[in-house]
Each structure stands twice: as C-alpha cells, then as structure tokens.
C-alpha cells in the first residue's frame, strides 16, 4: 500500500467516525452525512497529510482532524454550489436539494461550515493561529470566487484573466491551503510552506480547467454527471471565453444565438456549440492551458525541500489526478 493510500484510509476512517451517530435533528445532519458518504478522492485532506509528512512524518496525527475539517468545508461548498447552480446530480447521485429541499440544503451546508471550523480548531495550539488565519482567508476567497462566477453569468465579455482569477479563488486556493496547513503543522520553514502553497494553487487551476474540459469532452458515466452542463447553462468557462474570442464573425454570431436563446433542445444546443468549439480548436487550446499550469506548478514544487519519498509520492498522486476521466 502506498503512503498516499494509507492517508486516504486514515481520512475515510475518521470521516466514518464523525458521521457514525444519528445526531438530532436528523433533518439537519442526515444531508451532511449523505454528502460526505458520496465519496470523492479526498484530495484536500490527502494533500494536507502529505504537506505535513514532507517536513515531519511524526506530526501526521496532529494534522488528521484539521485535514478532515478541510474535507468537510470542501463538501459544504459543493452542497451550496449545487443549489446555486440548480444541479440535479453529484457523483452520479441526486444532490441534497433534490432529495430534501432548498432550505435543507442551505441549513445543512451552514452546519457543515461550522463543523469544519470546529475540526480545524483542534489543530495543536502551537500552530492554531496561523492555521485558522489561513483557513479563514481561504474560506473568504472561496466565497469571493463563487460571487465572481455568479457575476459572470450576466456578462459576455469575461476575459481569460478574469476567469483564471475566479477559479483560483473558487477552487485552487483550497488546495494550496490544504498543503500549507499540513506544512505549518509539520513545522516547515516559511519559504517551503509558501512554495507548497503556490504549487497547490497552480495545480488547482489546472484541475479546474481539466474539469471544464471534461464537462464538454468527457464521458457522462465516468464524469459523474451529464456532459454539456456548462454549455446548457452558458457557464463562462475557459472554453466558452476562448471561443468567443477566436471564432470568426459568422460563427461567433451563431454562438451568441445559442447563448441568448431561452428555448432550445438540450442535445441540439450541446452539439451545435461543440461543433463551434471544434471549429475554433477549443479542445486543443484548453489542453495547452492545462499543461501550462501543470508544468508551472511543478517548477514551483521543485523549490520545496523535504522528505524525498513523500515528495515523489505526491508527484505521482497529482500526476494520476491529471490523467483522470472524472
């Protein structure tokens, strides 16, 4: 078993203990338990434990509970994100607001946020203040990113730079936070902790661009939700923004027709927009942008000094994630 796999098992066991009781009121806690039971790769807590082990493997147990807190926070953001996006499926399962209702999704999400803070507050006292400051900063940035994402819904002039900043805030900073939280608990020097944080943020941008690509060009059964959701919702992704910039006048007019048309057949719109994407070589351009951030992140990673076998396993873990189809 790889070291990363042992981290994942340790995290799963802790999550199972956290949600093992039928706490009351059930209407508040059951949706949270349901969200956490949907699985996922537990990327953030694994990064937290790896970030700690790179500098001090003996401090792993000190990082476990804060790492679980980061996973609870991540799933809280997914719960609210699904509600705001009106998404019906998450990881091939119905979302909370579909099984219960919108009010339950809001309140259970709020409870998960409080739970995340309670778990992260169990960081050893020596490291508690910097960890809490980092987490609070990150939590606010995630909210800022979500607001930018919603603001973009009503704009057709979003720039690539604005989009990259939005996904940095909404998605990437939490990966950087996870790694740096572990590094702080592992007593890393500031230079190494910052290098690890910057690595996480840039690999997070690459991950989100990969998700954007998969939403259009992936396989729905493997991806865990219907393909083309971003197209149907006119989501301002790197793909759409690049197409608006690069298509010729006639094709751009056709794309704007689909963006502005309120009544349409779902499959017809997806196929039409994908044809326009093919014309503008959007798949290729997105893959190039993914590779740019992926390669840049590992240039930053090369500045981290720590335990070699952990660094090597973390490298392989991230590489495997970039090869994923969901």
Closest by CA position to 37, among listed 65, 98, 79, 66: 79
- In this prediction, residue 120 carries a pLDDT of 98
- In this prediction, residue 67 carries a pLDDT of 98
Q: How far is CA 104 from each of CA 21, 91, 98, 107, 143, rounded to the nearest angstrom? A: 19, 20, 10, 5, 20
- Could you tell me the CATH number of the domain that includes residue 281? 1.10.600.10
Task: Give the rounded percent of residues in the chain with a pLDDT score beyond 90.
Answer: 90
The token duo for 52 is 């700690």
Average pLDDT over residues 75-100: 92
Average pLDDT over residues 298-318: 96
The token duo for 53 is 């082990």
The token duo for 26 is 């059930």
- Residues of the domain holding 305: 3-322
Largest CA distance in the chain: 62
**Domain total in the chain:** 1
- In this prediction, residue 74 carries a pLDDT of 98
Q: Which pLDDT band holds residue 326 (cuts at 50, 70, 90)?
A: very low
Closest by CA position to 11, among listed 74, 91, 98: 74
């Amino acid at each position: 078993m790889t070291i990363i796999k042992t981290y994942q098992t340790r995290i799963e066991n802790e999550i199972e203990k956290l949600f093992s009781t039928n706490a009351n009121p059930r209407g508040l806690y059951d949706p949270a338990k349901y969200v956490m039971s949907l699985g996922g790769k537990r990327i953030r807590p694994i990064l937290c434990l790896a970030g700690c082990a790179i500098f001090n493997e003996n401090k792993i147990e000190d990082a476990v509970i804060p790492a679980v807190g980061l996973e609870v926070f991540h799933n809280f953001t997914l719960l609210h994100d699904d509600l705001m996006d009106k998404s019906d499926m998450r990881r091939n399962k119905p979302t909370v607001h579909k099984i219960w209702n919108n009010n339950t999704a809001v309140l259970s999400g709020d409870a998960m946020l409080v739970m995340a803070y309670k778990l992260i507050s169990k960081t050893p006292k020596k490291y508690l203040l910097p960890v809490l400051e980092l987490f609070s900063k990150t939590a606010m940035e995630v909210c800022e990113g979500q607001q930018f994402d919603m603001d973009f819904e009503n704009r057709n002039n979003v720039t690539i730079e604005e989009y990259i900043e939005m996904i940095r805030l909404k998605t990437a900073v939490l990966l950087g936070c996870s790694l740096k939280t572990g590094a702080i608990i592992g007593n890393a020097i500031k230079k190494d902790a910052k290098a690890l944080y910057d690595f996480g943020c840039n690999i997070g941008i690459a991950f989100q661009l990969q998700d954007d690509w998969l939403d259009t060009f992936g396989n729905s059964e493997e991806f865990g939700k219907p393909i083309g959701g971003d197209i149907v919702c006119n989501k301002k992704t790197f793909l759409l923004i690049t197409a608006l910039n690069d298509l010729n006048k006639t094709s751009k007019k056709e794309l704007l027709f689909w963006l502005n048309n309120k009544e349409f057949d779902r499959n017809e719109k997806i196929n039409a927009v994908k044809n326009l994407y093919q014309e503008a070589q959007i798949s290729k351009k997105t893959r190039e942008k993914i590779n740019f951030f992926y390669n840049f992140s590992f240039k930053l990673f090369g500045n981290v000094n720590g335990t070699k076998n952990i660094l090597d396993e973390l490298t392989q873990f991230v590489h495997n994630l970039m090869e994923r189809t969901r």
